[in-house]
Structures are given as structure tokens and as C-alpha cells.
Structure 1
Amino acid sequence: MINKIAASVADALAGVKDGSTVMIGGFGTSGIPNELIDGLIAQGSKDLTVVNNNAGNGDTGLAALLKAGRVRKIICSFPRQADSYVFDGLYRTGKLELELVSQGNLAERIRAAGAGIGGFFTPTGFGTELAKGKECREINGKNYVLEHPIHGDLALIKAERGDRWGNLMYRMAARNFGPVMATACKKTVATVHEISDLGELNPEHIVTPGIFVHQIVKIERQATQSGGLRKAA
């Protein structure tokens, strides 16, 4: 019987190796799988390459992983914002390597990995520092830059609902990079707030099929200061 429901975050993340490439879903603070990031910190793997849209906020989530000294390199499109001081400090002191990728190219490079595409030409970045050292080609009178796929060892994503086969549905903006990251990695672990019986999820609403998901972990919703339940986007 296929059952991808893990008993705990620790069980789901057991065996992550040093030097792994870890893709972490999220756009700003929307859809960040904070429980899985905390679990990765507790798990102890180091020398990681992290792929994310940005480079963490404040002292929690991805920023906490950076602060713990577990990350060697980050690949992202938007590393600096008002509260990205953890990244800023590590990068300025040479303790963290950065590969800057424009947001569209980041998404497409991840998608290309999942689709088995060996590379693609894009006009984005041509004539800028982002194209330095890369193959450029003129096609039909327009200049393009060759970009290569980004493959990962582990994807950590946040979903809304799932079933024991690993089929996932997302909530609004929390969807962001999760679906493409799940296809591009050797292993995908997702958190969900609700676990549905098989057949209960509408097939037309399933965004990530279970074939791309290895384990899911049910987590509780966080209470707000007012005492209500917060449905994190």
C-alpha cells in the first residue's frame, strides 16, 4: 500500500546528505515551508546549496538556515531586501556564495530540469553581467543567452492539502515555485494542513501529482495573536 505520510518532519528529512542541493519553495514569506527548514537545521546537514526566490527574511525560516552556517551557496533572484541582514552579513564577509539569476530564468531553469531539457536560449540577461561567461547566440536577428537547468537533491515545499499518495493542492500565492521544484529534485517533501482520503481531491484541482512527491507531513495551522487561526498564504 502506498502511504507517503511521514510521522514527523524528522522522519521525512532523515538521510539528507552534506553538500546537497536543496530547493525551498516560497515567494517572499508566502509559501515558505518553515517547519521543514527548522527540521533541516535540526537534522544537521551542512555545505548545502539552496535554491530559493530570495535569501531569507529576519531571523526565521531560510534566514535561520543561513545563520546556522549550513549553506555554502545560494541561487536566487532577489537576495536583498529590508530585513535580509543575515544574508547580507554572510555575503559581505565571504562566508556565502551567491549565484544571481533573474526570476523568470530561475523558474525556467528549474522547470527545464523537471522536463528533461538540456538547456535553453533566452533574451533575458543578454548584454549584462548575468550573461558573463555564458554562450550567446543570435537567432532570427535577436540575441540570446544559453541557460542550463538547475537540478536538486531535495525539494521542500508547502502545500494546503494532500493524500497518502502524495497528490498536492496549494492555497493561492503559496503555490509559487513549489510545483516546478517538485519535478526537478530527486526527493520532494511537502507540508500540508489537511490530509484527504484517496479520491476526495478533485483531479482537476491537483497541481502536483503524487509521482513527484516522496513524503508529506501534516502540520497544524498557527494561531494568531487574536486567538484565531491563520491560513498562511
Structure 2
Amino acid sequence: MLDKTLPTTDAAVADIHDGASIAVGGFGLVGIPARLIDALREHGATDLTIISNNLGTDGFGLGLLLADKRISKSIGSYLGSNKEYARQYLSGELTVEFTPQGTLAERMRAGGAGIPAFYTTAGVGTQVAEGGLPQRYNEDGTVAVVSKPKETREFNGKLYVLEESIRADYALVHAHKGDRYGNLVFNKTAMNFNPDAAMSGRVTIAQVEHLVDVIDPEEVDLPGIYVDRVVEVGPQETGIENRTVS
């Protein structure tokens, strides 16, 4: 289908089902597909596995789905300042698979590129490779599930750990500009995880601030072959994650 545009965010997420895995772009508050997340919240899908650097902040972005108990598993890099994320993880309500930030980005990118796994030095000599990281707690605070050891291999005298790629059922991303063919342009640091998340999704949905008929190929940051649906949402304010001055 050449024209990938949809009229509303509700229509864009309408087929996301309970138990789906979803790769979500953004870092901190930059490049968050907030309007798609709001629509997903209204849609009602639950028991979701979210692949994202973090789970937003309290009261914004993925933090809203977390507060509604709609996320059962998180694959990400850190808790950030989201108190509810930490509470659910430590109280045994949420399974958390921690992965180094660069490894997470490459796991998503590799999934979209058809690469099943890759070797990296990140995590060698730690519990990332050796196993034993708590992934889920019991209500009494004891550890219920830990990460398993990963395969390691030596190349040219250096040890590497094998990491499996991620292919998500869906991906939600935010772009500054998109065209009806799904080509996307990201604004500055909103490049963060958005291109990798988009590649990871079997069905990728992009909210764009500006929808145009055609984007000059020289401007394209992510080609439309990775994008299945585009919906225009207008300008989106980033906000401030941690205010340090009054």
C-alpha cells in the first residue's frame, strides 16, 4: 500500500492486542510517541511487553500505561526517576529485563535487519553475561526469577557475549516529519531510539508532527520500508524531566 496515512491515533493502534510486545522510541522525554501511547491507553490492551530505554516518567508517556497496570514486562536500560516503575519491580508486580543501553539499541536494529543475534563486549565479566540479575521479585522481597547465563566466545583474544535480537509485534515512534509513503525525518536528539524501535516492529506506527506528500530522499532518516502506518499529531512539547532550578 503506497499511502500509509491514517486519520487518527485511535485507528492506528486499534488492532494492538493483549499480550503484544511493543518497541517504543524516545529517551527521557525526547521523541516520545505520547499521542500514540494515549490512544493505546484508551484502546485498553493489557499484559504488554514494552521494549524501551525506560518507561517514561510518572504521569507521562509509558508511565501512564505503567500506572494502569497494563505492562507486565519491561525490556530496557534503566528505571530513571519513575517511582512507580521502581515500586512495581521491587514489589513483584513487573518483570524487568535489564540490558545495556547500546546493546538494547542494537538488539532492536538487528531484529529489523534480519540478524538473529550478535556478539558484543558490553556486559562481559558482569551478571549481564554471567546471569543472576533479578528479573522479578516475590511480594516478600525475595528474588523469584533471575537472568540466565549467556553464551560467550573469544575473538582475537577478546571475550564477547552473545545477545539475541528483538523483533517486536508493534513499534510506536515519534518523528518531526513524515510523508504518505512512511519516510521519516527526526528532529535532532529525537533520533535516539526511534529509528531502532521502528526497525524492530513487525507493524510500525509513526506519529508525525508534520505530514507532507513526499520527502526529498536526501532528507530521509528512516526509509518508509520500515513504517506501516503514519498519523499526523501536530507539534509536541518535550517538557522537562528533572527540573533543577526554581
TM-score, L = length of structure 1: 0.91
Q: Alignment partner for residue 87 of structure 1, among 85, 88, 97? A: 85
- What residue identity is the alignment partner of 1:180? D
Whether 1:76 aligns to 2:76 is yes
Give the alignment of 1:92-171 within 5 angstroms. 92-131=90-129, 132=131, 133-171=149-187
Q: Alignment partner for residue 204 of structure 2, among 188, 200, 207? A: 188
8 Å Cα contact 1:221-1:231 kept in structure 2: no
CA offset at residue 74 of structure 1?
A: 0.3
CA offset at residue 28 of structure 1?
A: 0.7
Query: SS where residue 193 of structure 1 aligns?
Result: strand
What residue is the counterpart of 1:177 in the other structure? 193
What residue is the counterpart of 1:215 in the other structure? 229
Structure 2, unaligned stretches of length 5 or more?
132-148, 241-246
8 Å Cα contact 1:26-1:53 kept in structure 2: yes
8 Å Cα contact 1:46-1:70 kept in structure 2: yes
CA offset at residue 231 of structure 1?
A: 7.2
- Write the distance in 1 (CA, Å) between the matches of 2:174 and 2:29: 11
Structure 1, unaligned stretches of length 5 or more?
223-229
Query: SS where residue 40 of structure 2 aligns?
Result: helix
What residue is the counterpart of 1:202 in the other structure? 216
- Write the distance in 1 (CA, Å) between the matches of 2:234 and 2:213: 18
Q: How many residues align?
A: 222
CA offset at residue 195 of structure 1?
A: 1.1
- Write the distance in 2 (CA, Å) between the matches of 1:218 and 1:87: 30
Identity, % of aligned pairs? 42
Structure 1 outlier segments of 4+, above 2 Å: 230-233
